[in-house]
Amino acid sequence: MSPGLYVHVPFCRSKCPYCAFYSIPSPSLIPIWLDSLKKEVSLYSGQFEPFDSLYVGGGTPTLLETGILADLIKHLFTHFDFTPDTEVTVEANPCDLTDEKTGALRDLGINRVNVGVQSFDDRVLSFLGRRHRVKEINGALNHLRRLGFENVGIDLIYGFKEQDLKDWRNTLYNALSFQPEHISCYQLTFEKKTVFGRLRDKGQIEPLMESEEAAYFLTTSQHLEDNGYIHYEISNFAKNKACRSRHNQKYWRHIPTLGLGPSAHSFDGKKRWWNVRSIKRYCAAVEKGRPPVEGWEDLTEEQLWLETLSLGLRTSTGIDLRAVSRIPQSDAALSNLQASGLVKVIDGRIIPTREGFLVADQLPVCFFEGV
Ligand code: SF4
């Protein structure tokens, strides 16, 4: 299968209190970042088969001025080979999707826009430190449809005390009213070195209890499936099979991906490497003609196999029955998992159920240690 290309745009207008991605509020560094990125491109020229997905993420790619974004996309398409039907995704902040910017994205050949909506509730958006409000979301999604985008994704966040199940259902209801091709529902996590992480450590924010988290997850899955969406990965739903994120599926299926930009990760089928998480060190390395790589690991056959189990059991395609046959007690474990309603076996594949998704991290362990 064709590899995918990811570009990390490490700039945001401000930092959201829950966000652990590498991004900085320093737009003055955009020109030097772009210059370095072009140099990083040349380091990998000719090393990958033609890509069939390009994902421009971040950070906030849509804060780049149209000319910069055009320069970036043109450079990538000039120096790498892409298949004719490449999925080209850009992550967007609703505030940036003006009529003009949205039209420019379309004219650049971007055929998929993933909008960081997070909630359809102004009170929740304020709690999450987002700079947009529902008014901007509605405007952005309407612009996208009016200008002809037929592949639109929406990201949402749930799982905190400032929102109850009724609020969350209301957000899902509003999201569905736009009939997006793709919906990602992420549970809020309190990452170290984030504002929310520190507040949690001080006891000033209280995470949900496990049973509450489960209620949100099951409600979300049930509600979106009732509305015709396919729950194809723990956090991801697609309107139909063709609307699944081609790029993100590569991460779950061990398909090679090249990541460019500070903090971007890459995988060539056996080796994984990741770039430095600092724009200064990134630019300095590339200026010297060195890959801006912070670290790497060569994955053994055993590690690749274990990852196949853990990644596959997070998706609705599951894993091949043969993948667990080398585990001595796998037959008994599989029978127990089936009896518990956590997996099904369909066409020679072990597929997690909705309840299985809820404990997906523990499913591979069950094959080794029993249920
Ligand atoms: S806009 Fe997105 S990438 Fe930027 S800080 Fe907020 S969550 Fe993180």
| Within-domain flag for 155 | yes
Q: Are residues 34 and 95 in the same domain?
A: yes
Mind listing the pLDDT tens digit for each residue in 287-344?
A: 999 999 999 999 999 999 999 999 999 999 999 999 998 888 889 999 999 999 999 9
Mind listing the pLDDT tens digit for each residue in 166-221?
A: 999 999 999 999 999 999 999 999 999 999 999 999 999 989 999 999 999 999 99
- Tell the residue nearest (CA) to atom 2 of ligand 1: 59
Cα 15 to averaged position of ligand 1 atoms, centre (Å):
6
| Within-domain flag for 25 | yes
259: phi then psi, degrees, rounded to nearest 5: -110, 130
b/e per residue 51-65 (b: at least 16 CB within 10 A):
bbbbbbbbbbbbbbe
* pLDDT exceeds 90 at position 226: yes
Q: Are residues 33 and 126 in the same domain?
A: yes
Mind listing the pLDDT tens digit for each residue in 241-271?
A: 999 999 999 999 999 999 999 999 999 999 9
Domain boundary among 220, 252, 284: 252
| Within-domain flag for 42 | yes
Q: Are residues 232 and 356 in the same domain?
A: no
C-alpha to C-alpha distance for 106 and 56, rounded to whole angstroms: 14
Reported as a pLDDT band with limits 50, 70 and 90, residue 370 is: low
> What is the predicted pLDDT for the residue at 329?
86
Q: Are residues 207 and 323 in the same domain?
A: no
Mean predicted lDDT score pLDDT of the chain: 96
Q: Which long-range contacts (CB under 8 A, 24 or more apart) does 74-79 make?
A: 75/37, 75/38, 75/41, 76/5, 76/7, 76/41, 77/109, 79/41, 79/42, 79/45
**Pocket of ligand 1 from Cβ distances under 6 Å:** 12, 15-16, 19, 21, 23, 58-60, 116
Q: Residue 350's domain is classified under what CATH number?
A: 1.10.10
Q: Are residues 199 and 327 in the same domain?
A: no
Cα 161 to averaged position of ligand 1 atoms, centre (Å):
21
| Within-domain flag for 93 | yes
Residue in this structure with the two tokens 């998929």, named with its chain if needed: 112
> What is the predicted pLDDT for the residue at 328?
87
The atom number, within ligand 1, closest to the CA of 19 reads: 8
Per-residue DSSP letter, 24: B
Q: Are residues 229 and 355 in the same domain?
A: no
> What is the predicted pLDDT for the residue at 326?
86
Mind listing the pLDDT tens digit for each residue in 152-164?
A: 999 999 999 999 9
- Tell the residue nearest (CA) to atom 8 of ligand 1: 19
Per-residue DSSP letter, 49: P
* pLDDT exceeds 90 at position 367: no
Q: Are residues 157 and 64 in the same domain?
A: yes
Question: Which pTM does this prediction carry?
Answer: 0.96
* Mean pLDDT value of segment 349-370: 92
- Tell the residue nearest (CA) to atom 6 of ligand 1: 16
Q: Are residues 54 and 191 in the same domain?
A: yes
- Tell the residue nearest (CA) to atom 3 of ligand 1: 59
Mind listing the pLDDT tens digit for each residue in 44-100?
A: 989 999 999 999 999 999 999 999 999 999 999 999 999 999 999 999 999 999 999
Reported as a pLDDT band with limits 50, 70 and 90, residue 368 is: confident
| Within-domain flag for 289 | no
| Within-domain flag for 296 | no
What proportion of the chain, given as a percentage, has pLDDT over 90? 95
The atom number, within ligand 1, closest to the CA of 12 reads: 4
Q: Are residues 123 and 55 in the same domain?
A: yes
Q: Residue 203's domain is classified under what CATH number?
A: 3.20.20.70
Task: Please tell me the total count of domains within the chain.
Answer: 2
Domain boundary among 189, 217, 252: 252
> What is the predicted pLDDT for the residue at 265?
98
Q: Are residues 75 and 221 in the same domain?
A: yes
Q: Are residues 142 and 16 in the same domain?
A: yes
Residues spanned by the domain of 349: 301-369
The atom number, within ligand 1, closest to the CA of 15 reads: 5
Cα 19 to averaged position of ligand 1 atoms, centre (Å):
6
Domain boundary among 193, 217, 252: 252
Q: Are residues 245 and 312 in the same domain?
A: no
The atom number, within ligand 1, closest to the CA of 130 reads: 6
| Within-domain flag for 205 | yes
For ligand 1, pick from 11, 18, 22, 23 the residue to mutate: most ligand atoms within 8 Å of CB: 23
| Within-domain flag for 287 | no
